[in-house]
């Protein structure tokens, strides 16, 4: 029972995070907080889920240097050319890490 309670507490903490932050250091580094999942990633695109919707980073040579979903933190390095925000879609299920690997990310 105790393990179930601990898991529920961690889930509650993750759900309690509403806002996210994005700090860019030049165009070479991005630090994000409030990340709930990584939907897909490759060297040209990294798509993240937050409570406020998706955040997509575009560029070249993108790498996830640090990732802690428990803390909602992510650090990306590479040549960042753009950032795109998408509002949450009603009824969209969170797929989690590697959830859409192999599929082309649809925008719009």
pLDDT at 104: 40
For residue 1, name the pLDDT band (cuts at 50, 70, 90): low
**How does pLDDT run across 36-64, given as a tens digit for each residue?**
999 999 999 999 999 889 999 999 999 99
pLDDT at 102: 37
**How does pLDDT run across 10-40, given as a tens digit for each residue?**
545 444 545 789 999 999 999 999 999 999 9
**Residues 6+ positions from 35 with CB-CB distance below 8 Å:** 20, 48, 49, 50, 67, 69, 72, 73, 74
Q: What is the DSSP letter of 33?
A: E
Tell me the whole-structure pTM to 2 decimals. 0.68
Rounded Cα–Cα distance for residues 79 and 10 (Å): 34
CATH architecture of 2-86: Sandwich (2.60)
Domain boundaries, the chain: 2-86
Residue 2 DSSP SS3: helix
Handedness of CA 31, 6, 39, 61 (dihedral sign): positive
pLDDT at 79 > cutoff 70 = yes
């Amino acid at each position: 029972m105790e393990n179930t309670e601990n898991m529920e507490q961690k889930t509650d903490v993750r759900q309690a995070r509403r806002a996210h932050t994005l700090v860019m250091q030049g165009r070479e580094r991005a630090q994000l907080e409030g990340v709930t999942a990584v939907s897909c990633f490759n060297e040209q695109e990294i798509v993240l889920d937050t409570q406020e919707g998706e955040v997509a980073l575009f560029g070249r040579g993108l790498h996830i240097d640090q990732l802690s979903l428990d803390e909602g933190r992510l650090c990306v390095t590479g040549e960042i050319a753009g950032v795109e925000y998408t509002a949450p879609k009603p009824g969209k299920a969170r797929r989690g890490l590697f959830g859409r690997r192999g599929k082309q990310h649809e925008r719009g």
